[in-house]
Structure 1
């Protein structure tokens, strides 16, 4: 028979203590290992880079409306001075002399008489303030207001006929422009392309009854209502729809746009400007972040003035509502420069200048020589 071993109580207590210590050490090791793994995971998670915010697309040229939008909840204030010069009358695409106009072009109110006042040069200076606010990521609103000054050099011929000059007049008008309120809505966007619609309304805040003083064929001076082109405002509510497609890839950007201006009804004086259709195509190159140069082609088509103001009666081509509108193609070069180069991150300067390469005008009508402008923008 096998004898059973007898273990004394002290031995049992000693073995139990050893087992308890072993279990405690094992639990501590396991806990420490778990904490180390958790810390490692946490460290790895915290060191992982956050997803990069996509950079905004390169800016469009200064003369394009509806391509750039204010960020959601942000306000952009812009001050935009622009200047233009006109001279040399055209009938269609053909330049005509002042003597030819005085000898052959009939007076609007009396076709048996000829014109006696012929414009030589016109200068236009506009100061516009624009406020753009990003309502949402896809919607912005834009309000514009401004002042305009027009100066005119006019040659007067003697008597009721003939081509003998009487002398020159230097006159002009100035006043508020028509205010505008527009909305821009993005309907599509991917990493390269975007499509945006815009629609706006002009308000007749600019006067269309300004007067000026001109030398008359008999040698006297007379003050009368200024010509249509000399008025600061149109006197009408106009609807302005538009659409923009723009894209960019690495340092290159491009786009096309359309915008129209359509008077809704005649003004109190009995006329409305012809419908205007304006098209743009452009390309840009970003040399370094914050410096983009642009090239733009602009084409516009506008009809003649419909109706007439009976108080605009001067014997000059600009008093004839049929001698307005036509077709024009212009080329512009420009640049958009970030203020970060001089320590102003929220400021941007845009500049652009250009000249026509084709004009087919309802005339005789002064043709455009050049146009230049800039915009100083503050992001608030």
Structure 2
């Protein structure tokens, strides 16, 4: 696997030892008003499965006045082409028709073929509960995208001219949400999710591309390399969670509804259903498995400045259906100054991808996160 995967795994392994053996601090032996000395053993154990797997957002509420800060690092690797459920080589992509053929300077076939893409997101979050029923949440990502390409020479054929890389980097779209509790029945909880995504991320990022003639051209990057959606998006959802003894489970249905258009287009609407289960062998650690089914529509409209012989510039080559399996671990410190700090890791890989048009397929994703409530 990649260095990012190895670093994340090693970090969690070392930290798990620290969380399970952290000595008590001076605060653990403080004397309360009644004069009785309280040791760390008198504090109730915190449950690692008190939160869902780290890849699930907005899955829990807080008590009145409670604040939670969080940081997540998410990495995604994409490599290899797929049309529907069928894999394609770069040469096969290069002999398919160019959707823009007939416009000035456009060749009949695709000439610029992305071969791989990575996306790193640093997500900074905060939650606050004005009362026991409502929890407010905000999330702002810093996004880094890299894409490698092959340029094929001339208007047609499979002769490689060269390769190039493009990168976009900056703040993404700000998401603000409210979680509204519908009820708690013993260990079973249900709440509504509703939020908005504000278009704070750029949709005008540019890069230099190698054209089929050998010239270098500075142009607007394709839709998938932009940092934001460009539109105000609605974020509805509903979340259920429960636990019994050392096991926990839950499910969440979420959507993304695009409103309006920006630069002549809007991204496709999304709907996702995820379900998870967890087992907690000790209060400080829980192990989880999760499945997610997701459907994303293609792009509606077109940015007139995104024209070229590449599949990523065609709005029809976006969206599709995927099913992904995840495995994760949640850790929570029980003692000392680290008590209440949570660290979690989740790794996922798709088991089914049915993609619209010609697209890079996802190989794997990982999310590493920290959370602390006070």
TM-score of the aligned structures, taking structure 1 as reference length: 0.83
Query: Deviations 1:289-326 (Å, cap 9, x if unpaired)?
Result: 12111100011001100000010112100000000000
Count of paired positions? 328
Query: Deviations 1:51-85 (Å, cap 9, x if unpaired)?
Result: x9998773211122232223220111101111001
- Contact 1:91–1:362 under 8 Å retained in 2: yes
Distance 1:343 1:55 in 2: 14
Distance 1:110 1:325 in 2: 25
RMSD: 1.8
SS of corresponding position for 1:314: coil
Distance 2:56 2:69 in 1: 17
Larger RCO, structures 1/2 (Cα 8 Å, 6+ apart): 2
2:123 matches 1:125:
no
- Contact 2:70–2:124 under 8 Å retained in 1: yes
Structure 2 residue aligned with 1:277: 271
Distance 2:45 2:339 in 1: 18
Structure 2 residue aligned with 1:173: 168
Deviation at residue 106 of structure 1 after TM alignment: 2.5
Structure 2 residue aligned with 1:94: 86
Query: 1:158-307 residue pairs with structure 2 within 5 A?
Result: 158-267=153-262, 269-307=263-301
Distance 1:105 1:278 in 2: 32
**Which stretches of structure 1, 4 residues or more, deviate above 6 A after TM superposition?**
52-57
Distance 1:129 1:176 in 2: 11
2:154 matches 1:154:
no
SS of corresponding position for 2:305: coil
Q: Among residues 50, 55, 62, which one is paired with 1:58 in the alignment?
A: 50
SS of corresponding position for 2:200: coil
Distance 1:91 1:149 in 2: 26
Deviation at residue 341 of structure 1 after TM alignment: 5.8
Structure 2 residue aligned with 1:68: 60
Larger radius of gyration: 1
Deviation at residue 224 of structure 1 after TM alignment: 0.3
- Contact 1:108–1:319 under 8 Å retained in 2: no
SS of corresponding position for 2:93: helix
2:353 matches 1:359:
yes
Distance 1:189 1:214 in 2: 55
- Contact 1:330–1:355 under 8 Å retained in 2: yes
Distance 1:361 1:370 in 2: 16
Query: 1:100-111 residue pairs with structure 2 within 5 A?
Result: 100-108=92-100, 110=102
- Contact 1:304–1:323 under 8 Å retained in 2: yes
